[in-house]
A = this chain, B = another copy of it.
């Protein structure tokens, strides 16, 4: 005696077969209606749609994926969510995916390539249509998977390197360089730099290098730097600036790896009665709203996070097949003059 169908699952989840039976058509016809694919007579479509509504049918994507060897998932691997930059990128991705059948699946790597690799593999188990990762630097294994998979790949934020498929972002090296040039031009000479401890944030490192090379071209170099022994935060910036100034009271400008820390720097100046800009220039990176809402808007660089996410997702949707040649999209950046440097 054959075991009962659906023996080990809930009996009340209607399947395509139920829909087909109720509508008096074959499964494949019902399937075509669900997917809005292939020629269907209007009357047939109507009957199937009615049956779907009546049963409250929800298609089983696992079955669909298995049968068609391709899912509607887009894997998104981001270094962090605490840093508002990445939620912004995500919003961009979401915006591009609204009204499409695709759904993002998010993973957080904590800036650790090994974690990235681990999450990537677990995501690939879902046969994603596309994978979005941050940066161009991955473990060899991860890179191999990205190169050989049957899915599109977008590498975000950074364009200083060779992408697997598509890269969307800006040159962080250039941003650092332009920061240096801009500040030198404004008369600053004694530079300080306050970093934080995320050693694998390649973008911050690239900006740092760009800054140094701009200084070098001007016959200058960093007078002092301090590495805050913890993750980036406003408090980190505040404390780091206090320490920097204690050792080097003669600095005339301090560059921060991001706006959060730069805000902390400004808070220290407020606290210590230091005239920002006249006595000490403060420069950030990202162009967050909060910095621009201050009485003296933060001098910084506007990175286009939302645009990066949106552009990447849109590009990925253009074709399921990986094109022969790689694409690099430079979303650029803007210097925000502000009032703090």
Q: Is B106 touching A233 in the complex (CB atoms < 8 A)?
A: no
Q: Mark A237-264, 1 if CB is under 8 A from B, else 0.
A: 1100000000000000000000010011
Against B, the Cβ 8 Å flags (1 = close, 0 = not) of A279-308 are 000000000011011110000000000000
- Which residues does chain B contribute within 8 Å of A289, judged by CB atoms? 233-235
The residue of chain B having its C-beta at the shortest distance from the C-beta of A91 within the complex is B81
Q: Is the CB of B103 within 8 A of A122?
A: yes
Number of copies: 2
Bound-state CA distance A58–B125 (Å) is 6
Once the chains are docked, how many angstroms separate the CA of A297 from the CA of B269?
A: 15
Cα distance A90–B80 in the bound complex, in angstroms: 10
> Mask for A81-115, Cβ within 8 A of B = 1, else 0?
11010011011001000000001111110000000
Interface status of A62 (Cβ within 8 A of chain B): yes
Contact residues in B for A63 (Cβ distance below 8 Å) = 62, 66
Is A177 part of the binding interface, using a Cβ–Cβ cutoff of 8 Å?
Answer: no
Contact B293 A264 (CB under 8 A): yes
Given A84-B84, A108-B94, verify A125-B59 contact (CB < 8 Å).
Answer: yes
The one of B60, B73, B125, B290 that contacts A234, using a Cβ cutoff of 8 Å:
B290
Given contacts A81-B90, A235-B289, contact A58 B124 (CB under 8 A): yes
B87 touches A81 (CB 8 A): yes
B293 touches A234 (CB 8 A): yes
Query: Measured between alpha carbons, how far is A100 from B292 in the docked complex, in Å?
Result: 41
Question: Is A103 within 8 A of B94, CB to CB?
Answer: no
The one of B71, B107, B234 that contacts A62, using a Cβ cutoff of 8 Å? B71
Mark each residue of chain A from 51 to 88: 1 if its CB lies under 8 Å from any CB of chain B, else 0. 00000001111110110010101000000011010011
A108 touches B81 (CB 8 A): no
Measured between beta carbons, the chain B residues less than 8 angstroms from A293 are 233-235, 237-238, 263-264, 267
Contacts of A90 in B (CB 8 A): 81, 106, 108
Contacts of A290 in B (CB 8 A): 234, 260, 263, 290
Closest 3 A/B residue pairs (Cβ): A234-B293, A62-B65, A81-B87
A9-B150, A234-B289 are known contacts; what are 19 more A-B pairs with Cβ within 8 Å? A8-B69, A10-B69, A13-B150, A58-B121, A61-B62, A62-B71, A81-B87, A82-B84, A82-B87, A82-B91, A84-B87, A103-B123, A234-B290, A235-B289, A235-B292, A237-B293, A263-B290, A263-B293, A270-B295
A to B CB contacts below 8 Å, 19 in the list: A58-B125, A61-B62, A61-B125, A62-B62, A63-B66, A81-B90, A82-B91, A84-B87, A90-B106, A103-B107, A106-B106, A233-B289, A234-B289, A234-B293, A237-B293, A260-B290, A267-B293, A267-B294, A270-B294
